[in-house]
Amino acid sequence: MNRAVKHIGDRDAAFLAEMGIGPLWQLRAAPQAEPEVSAGPEPVAPAEPAAPAPSLAPPPMPRQVAEAPTKPAWTPPVQENSAWGVEAEPERVDVSTLDWAGLRQAIASCKHCSACSAGRKPVPGAGARQARWLVAAGTASAIDEKARQPMTGDPGKLLDNMLAAVGLSRESDVYVTSLVKCRPANANGGDRAPTLEEAAACRPFLERERELTGAGLVLTLGQVAANGLLGKPLSEPLAGSRGAVHAFKEVPMVATLHPGELLRRPGDKALAWADLCRAKTADEGESAGAG
């Protein structure tokens, strides 16, 4: 584990308390498996479907394993060229020179991937427009789409605690966004993971957000965001990207777990704390080098 996690001072202990992390440094004994007792073969009765147990889990987070849309892929509307009678895809906007107003308009009117379906409600980024960190999730969730804000609900609250643990906040230091601006939905309207096409179509928006904020570090949440920015298959496990400082364009990038995953597996908060320490060290190194 990262040295920053092994040796905890009073200041780090306060950070961990901000994240809601309990005592992490005492290993729990693994439960002993009970020996199996063979009672011999028994007649096999037809299995009855078990009644679903009541769920106490937090609201579902966007799927982190890539899958194809369950409905036919959306085809961009075509325009007829009056001179030649040919059809062409809508012209792509060069976002590299847009200001904040122009970027938001480009996101609102984008029609270049299968997530741009009828009734779409894109979720642009939010937070400090002059930021030290840009924090990127893979996609918005249904509750994010309803609020038209990234990282809301219980995962958003945990993210705010994680940022506070290293002395940062959305209001003053951090810009929060997602790689895919429109929530990918399946045929039933539920969340699904984005396709590679959708991630590639939206990536220029995130790149421009990073440039406009001037953020000196990118922190990704979950495997879709990390793999999408590193050019890896979206379904590749996050473990292949964690534990190192990568480069995104000209700034360092650190991958960590999505807060929705941490709500389901609180024991993994120690891993997220190590990632936050790694990101803070990389950010401070960049600041010292720039100075």
174-203 average pLDDT score? 90
User: What is the pLDDT confidence band of residue 49, given thresholds at 50, 70 and 90?
Assistant: low
Cα–Cα dist 212/54, whole Å: 45
Predicted pLDDT at 109 = 86
pLDDT exceeds cutoff 80 at 42? no
Predicted pLDDT at 186 = 83
Supply the DSSP string of 239-268, one letter for each residue.
GGTTTSEEEETTEEEEEE--HHHHHH-GGG
186-195 average pLDDT score? 85
Predicted pLDDT at 16 = 65
Burial of 224 (0-12, 13-18, 19+ CB in 10 A): buried
45-57 average pLDDT score? 53
Predicted pLDDT at 13 = 67
Of 28-37, 239-248, 263-272, where does mean pLDDT reach its minimum?
A: 28-37
pLDDT exceeds cutoff 50 at 97? yes
pLDDT exceeds cutoff 60 at 41? no
Cα–Cα dist 199/113, whole Å: 9
Cβ-proximal residues to 241 (8 Å cutoff; 6+ apart), any chain: 220, 223, 226, 227, 230, 232, 255
Supply the DSSP string of 4-25, one letter for each residue.
HHHS--HHHHHHHHHTT----S
Percentage of the chain beyond pLDDT 70 is 65
Predicted pLDDT at 61 = 57
Supply the DSSP string of 165-211, one letter for each residue.
HTT--TTTTEEEEEEESSPPB-TTS-B-PPPHHHHHHHHHHHHHHHH
pLDDT exceeds cutoff 50 at 274? yes
| CB neighbour burial string for 144-181, b if at least 16 within 10 angstroms, e if fewer | bbebebbbbbebbebbbbbbebbebebeebbbbbbbbb
User: What is the pLDDT confidence band of residue 12, given thresholds at 50, 70 and 90?
Assistant: low
Of 71-85, 152-166, 275-289, where does mean pLDDT reach its minimum?
A: 71-85
Mean pLDDT for the chain?
A: 80
118-125 average pLDDT score? 81
Predicted pLDDT at 286 = 76
Cα–Cα dist 206/194, whole Å: 15
pLDDT exceeds cutoff 60 at 87? no
Task: Quote the pTM value.
Answer: 0.72
Token pair of 88 as six digits: 């062409």
49-57 average pLDDT score? 53
pLDDT exceeds cutoff 70 at 231? yes
At 217, is the secondary structure helix, strand, or coil? strand
Predicted pLDDT at 60 = 59
